[in-house]
Amino acid sequence: MSKNRQLTLSLLFILMMVPAVCSTSIEVNVIELLNTDIKYIDCCMLNSNVMSASYDVFNSGSVAYAARIRLDISDGTKKVTSIWSSESLLNPGERDTINMYWYEPKDKIITADARLYRAYDIVDIGNITWIFNDASTSSDAVDIEMVRVYDDKIKIKITAENDTGKIIIYPVKYTAGWLFEQNVIEDVIAGKSRTIYINYDAGVFRESEITLVAVSEDGRFYGEKTFLLKKESGIRKLIGMFMDLLD
């Protein structure tokens, strides 16, 4: 066989192998890991009536999720209510600090059992004991007005008689099994109404009562009011939605 023919056959063999090499694919499987590092970083008495709890939540896994904290509040052996934080959307490697508050007008010991909700996974993260031994009566100086009930949030207006700075708003009584987020409004000025939304999830909605508490961070000013949660319908609903867009 001549050298030219050998060279030609060698080139043909190489060309035949190129498509096979180019079509080879490499699959890399990444294990999906749902994991969280959570640290209870602070518990402090803001004043004689208001306690806070702060949690550092770090997504140490490989899956993004929405995280929130639930505190089941107990007075001795009796459960009083549950308070929920707003959701924090955490991608892998991200962290957030979640702050929770509780107002107590009487001297007593309050226990809060804490749970972390990450997507549909639930993790027990311990409990807190708050001791109120010097509680005082707050001035009834915060007005709460229910404006409108939407499918996933309620619109309210807060008006304070004094400059209060930060005001904390959350429900203390509502239908069992429902979820209402605790919320905070900053820089409240005397006599000036402020609009705030509280997100909720009822699963299956029905008309029911809710009792909201609004308290200044220093515990001096307070308001509480019970409303009937009732959705608007028809032309009244459309007008309300339009007015909210202008607000």
Per-residue pLDDT 10s for the chain (247 aa) are: 555 555 555 555 555 554 444 444 444 444 566 677 777 666 666 667 888 899 999 998 888 999 999 999 999 778 999 999 999 999 999 999 999 999 988 888 899 999 999 988 899 998 888 888 777 767 788 999 988 999 999 999 999 999 988 999 999 999 999 999 999 999 999 999 999 999 999 999 999 999 999 999 888 899 999 999 998 887 887 887 777 787 7
Q: How far is 54 from 100, CA to CA, in rounded Å?
A: 6
Domain 139-246 sits in CATH at: 2.60.40.10
DSSP 133: S
Q: How many whole angstroms separate alpha carbon 183 and alpha carbon 85?
A: 8
Q: Where exactly are the structural domains of the chain?
A: 36-132, 139-246
What's the fold here for domain 36-132?
A: Immunoglobulin-like (2.60.40)
Residue in 127, 136, 138 with CA at minimum distance from that of residue 167? 138
Of 189, 185, 148, 151, which Cα lies nearest the Cα of 170?
Answer: 185
Q: What share of the chain is helix, strand, coil (3-state, %, to 5)?
A: 15, 55, 30
The answer to whether domain 36-132 and domain 139-246 are alike in fold is: yes
User: Is 129 in a helix, a strand, or coil?
Assistant: strand
